[in-house]
Chains A and B, each alone.
Chain A
Amino acid sequence: MQTKIAVIHGPNLNMLGLREVGIYGGNSMQSINNEIAAAADPLGVTVEFFQSNHEGELVTFIQQCRGRVKGIVLNAGAYTHYSIAMRDAITAAQVNVVEVHISNIFKRETFRHVSVIGAVCIGQICGLGAQGYILGLKALLCERLPIEEPS
């Protein structure tokens, strides 16, 4: 049976390739998604992609991942730094989440150094560009994950 993993892009990530390419690179979100899907396929993983600019839509989607996917690779964009609602959604979903950032957030403005979702994720990958998503997906395939699937 195929393993299902969700890849979630938060606000402004639909503008990848057009927005601050010096920081985020020249790849569009669609081309990054294509790369992720191509890497996932030989691993027996089906990827469900979701992007929203709206915090509430992201909360709802994360909730709906409960019991439905093996894990989530989440780039929450700027919501990373202040959305307690997303943090609560991750906890409520009882799903293993890897936090991913394209850029190295620690090289940037101080307000980006804090992640309010980090403590409810299993780990973080940042600064490695689009391949951070693929590494995050692979991290979710390891044998023992902290959160067991909800019954």
Chain B
Amino acid sequence: MSTNCFLVISGPNLNLLGCRETSIYGGSSLEDIHQALQESATAMDLSVDCFQFNLEGDIVDCLQGAPEKYSGVIINAGALAHDSYTLRSAIGSLLLPCIEVFISNMDTREEFRHHSVIAPVCLGVIGGFGKQSYVLALEALANLSNQ
């Protein structure tokens, strides 16, 4: 297992960032976010692999294989955060620290977004800071693995 490599997963519809509801999600594309993560990783002397999936099962497959290669996971599950017990089970059995991130502040949005079914099985949650939510989560995981 590499101790310096982290997995970043973005869920459904996040491939549309930058062209979808930019007043909520901002103008950054997913590629911009991945680039910011790569730059931050390089500065901290670690590496990240970033993936996006629209299919719930693909995320589960990716998480199940994660312990072989990664020391922590950052996940923006998109709308699956609110309804996917399958994802919750996959994260719950992960044996790796996982931080849930959101681009927007869920509390300012529709009621159904106020509840995440995966938050209780994650180490913590960072939301509301745009692409910086991801970068801050990477810093948190890096600090944890140094402790």
Interface positions of A (Cβ within 8 A of B): 98, 104, 106-107, 113-115, 118-119, 121-128, 131-132, 135, 138-139, 142
The answer to whether A142 and B107 have CB atoms under 8 Å apart is no
Shortest B136–chain A CB gap in Å is 5
The answer to whether A104 and B125 have CB atoms under 8 Å apart is yes
The answer to whether B126 and A106 have CB atoms under 8 Å apart is no
Interface of A is mostly: mixed
The answer to whether A104 and B126 have CB atoms under 8 Å apart is no
Given contacts A123-B127, A127-B125, A128-B124, contact A106 B116 (CB under 8 A): yes
When the two chains form the complex, which single residue of A106, A113, A114, A121 contacts B105, counting CB atoms closer than 8 Å? A121
The answer to whether B130 and A124 have CB atoms under 8 Å apart is no
Given contacts A123-B133, A124-B107, contact A104 B124 (CB under 8 A): yes
When the two chains form the complex, which single residue of B114, B130, B140 contacts A131, counting CB atoms closer than 8 Å? B140
The answer to whether B127 and A124 have CB atoms under 8 Å apart is yes
Cα A135 to Cα B132 in complex, Å, equals 10
Which residue of chain B lies nearest to A119 when distances are taken between CB atoms in the complex?
B107
How many pairs of residues, A versus B, come closer than 8 Å at their CB atoms? Answer: 74
The answer to whether A135 and B120 have CB atoms under 8 Å apart is no
Cα A121 to Cα B105 in complex, Å, equals 8
Interface positions of B (Cβ within 8 A of A): 99, 105-108, 114-116, 119-120, 122-130, 132-133, 136, 139-140, 143
The answer to whether B140 and A104 have CB atoms under 8 Å apart is no
Cα A106 to Cα B126 in complex, Å, equals 12
Which residue of chain B lies nearest to A125 when distances are taken between CB atoms in the complex?
B126
Shortest A117–chain B CB gap in Å is 8
